[in-house]
Structure 1
Amino acid sequence: MNNTLIKGLGVIELLAHSDRPLGLTEIATHLGLAKSNVHRLLQALTELNYVIRDASGTGTGYSASIKLWELGSAVLSRLDLRRHAQAWMDKLMHASGESVHLSVLDRAEVVYVHKIDSPNPVRAYTQIGGRALAHCVATGKAILAFQPDTALQRMFATLAPSTPNSIVEPERFLREMAKVRKEGYAVNRGEWRETVYGVAAPICDGNGHVIAAIGLSGPAERFKPHKIKGFAALVLNAATEISDDLGGGNRHNALALATRSMVAMRRG
């Protein structure tokens, strides 16, 4: 085998599974390689856009880039997140009359990997491949809430406002994340676009990791409190079913919480 290729793949896998940027010394130590060797590998991987170099006041760190997701999306038919989600996205749209989104997280943003538009003439407009600040949209908050604490702490530097309703204060942001974890779903109240609201729930893989979110969005006037409660029950049910399809019974606590919340709302 080509040793350079093996080492390069080792670097990519290490960064892909890390919940924070890693320094040159950390990478070299973890992989048992010389720092000079790792430095050359990182230079090549950065030039090829597989790795992002992050410079901060505490030094330089390296992270896996979105290119890995782009490659993964090319074989999405195997993971088949979209295929598993399609039927439930259709059901959500027909049950709610609102636009449905399937999103994944890329650092501080969500990427819309699939969507079904509302039949209503007035609706939320997005496009597949489009992006939004994760802390400002429901699908983003539904994923962020189940990230490691270190990842949430790093978010503080990226909490830029999109509207006056955006949550950008660190303490308030952490309270919002705790609320999402407790209830199992997230709500966007005009935080990305002032006139657009949304509700979303996390989707888990077979290892119990939150890998995506499914959500509804539409004009604020159609997302009154009683409607949000009903929409939350719909997205929670869809997220649970999709997660079951992807991995069976080994679900993240998020889905257990989501199921309990859904049952409680249906009884209420």
Structure 2
Amino acid sequence: MPRVVPAVIRALDILELFLDRPQLSAREVAERLDLPRTTVHELLVTLVARAYLISVPGQPVQYRLGMPLFQLGAAFAGRLDLVREAQNVAREVAAACDEAVHVAVLDGADVVYLVKVDSTHPVRMVSGVGLRLPAHCTAVGKILLASLDPECLDAVLTKDVLPGMTPDSVTDQDALRAQLDRARSAGVAFDIGESDSAMRCVAAPIRDHSGATIAAMSVSAPIVRWTAQAQAEWPDLVREGATALSARMGFTAQPE
């Protein structure tokens, strides 16, 4: 097995210290990693020479991250493909519940479906990639609307009476906003026959490296398979799937 180079490991350990601190001194680095100061000094000099760290102006023994790390992170982020990664995770979630799994994004007041993985059941949801639906009538749309700040939400919900798709669609703004508050708190949103009277859905948010909500994932099933057990299990399943996809998109949950 190839040998791991200790000096490289120590240099990476130093860089990772800056994940939760914007600035560190040489002494703080030595103390936090329990390394000799001479070793830390040599590593810091090397990292500064390559601009992975820079000395803080006016404070030569204080350091912060340098531009090459931003460039590497941007290069990594640029190679992430939401549709490709979503397809892979959606397959895993669909295999776990044998129901349809969708990934969608918000476009104005609508959602657009980017990914669909079908169930193996003969009775399935009629939907497809590229389908556009009113966001407030869908589980994915509600969790995406719930992620908006108040000003953006006001700009999207411009009508006092929202258009409905079924008799169960929520068309009253106050009722919808109450649902969005609950979705924000619970981390999931539901569509109880609001886009299709015969279907039920639950959705969770997908976040990127900055923590912004960029998409949503849902599990959808006909009402005949929306059992008490399904209602208890599928919210956790879709949360786990959305969390897995968020991690692939670079999101790292901050400790509470």
Please say whether Structure 1 and Structure 2 have the same fold, judged by a TM-score greater than 0.5: yes
Asked if structure 1 preserves the Cα contact closer than 8 Å seen for 2:211 and 2:251, the reply is no
**Equivalent residue runs for 1:80-91 within 5 Å:** 80-91=81-92
**1:122 maps to what in 2?**
123
**1:185 maps to what in 2?**
188
Question: Hey, what's the Cα distance between the residues in 2 that align with 1:127 and 1:78?
Answer: 26
Question: Hey, what's the Cα distance between the residues in 2 that align with 1:234 and 1:191?
Answer: 21
**Equivalent residue runs for 1:1-268 within 5 Å:** 78-154=79-155, 155-157=157-159, 159-249=162-252
Q: CA deviation at 1:120?
A: 0.6
Deviating beyond 4 angstroms after TM superposition, the runs of 4 or more aligned structure 1 residues are: none
- Output the amino acid matched with 2:163: A
- Output the amino acid matched with 2:190: V
- Output the amino acid matched with 1:96: C
Question: Hey, what's the Cα distance between the residues in 2 that align with 1:77 and 1:218?
Answer: 34
The 3 A distance-change label for structure 1 pair 153 and 216 is: same
Question: Hey, what's the Cα distance between the residues in 2 that align with 1:240 and 1:160?
Answer: 31
CA radius of gyration, larger in = 2
The worse-fitting range, judged by mean Cα deviation, of 109-118 and 240-249 is 240-249
Question: Hey, what's the Cα distance between the residues in 2 that align with 1:248 and 1:100?
Answer: 21
Determine helix, strand or coil for the equivalent of 1:89: helix
For structure 1, the residue ranges without an aligned partner over 5 or more in a row are 1-75, 257-268
For structure 2, the residue ranges without an aligned partner over 5 or more in a row are 1-76
Determine helix, strand or coil for the equivalent of 2:121: coil
How many equivalent pairs are there?
A: 178
The 3 A distance-change label for structure 1 pair 90 and 241 is: same
Asked if structure 2 preserves the Cα contact closer than 8 Å seen for 1:162 and 1:191, the reply is yes
Question: Hey, what's the Cα distance between the residues in 2 that align with 1:248 and 1:205?
Answer: 5
Question: Hey, what's the Cα distance between the residues in 2 that align with 1:225 and 1:142?
Answer: 22
Question: Hey, what's the Cα distance between the residues in 1 that align with 2:151 and 2:213?
Answer: 16
Q: CA deviation at 1:219?
A: 0.6
Asked if structure 2 preserves the Cα contact closer than 8 Å seen for 1:104 and 1:212, the reply is yes
The 3 A distance-change label for structure 1 pair 173 and 89 is: same
Deviations 1:135-176 (A, max 9, x none): 111111111111111232231417211111111111111110
Deviations 1:98-131 (A, max 9, x none): 1110100111111011111111100101111111
- Output the amino acid matched with 2:216: A
Percent identity between the aligned chains? 35
The 3 A distance-change label for structure 1 pair 78 and 196 is: same
CA RMSD of aligned residues (A): 2.0
**2:73 maps to what in 1?**
none
Question: Hey, what's the Cα distance between the residues in 1 that align with 2:212 and 2:165?
Answer: 28
Deviations 1:3-39 (A, max 9, x none): xxxxxxxxxxxxxxxxxxxxxxxxxxxxxxxxxxxxx
Deviations 1:177-225 (A, max 9, x none): 0010111011100000111111110000111110000111121121134
Q: CA deviation at 1:249?
A: 1.4
TM-score relative to the length of structure 1: 0.62
Q: CA deviation at 1:250?
A: 5.2
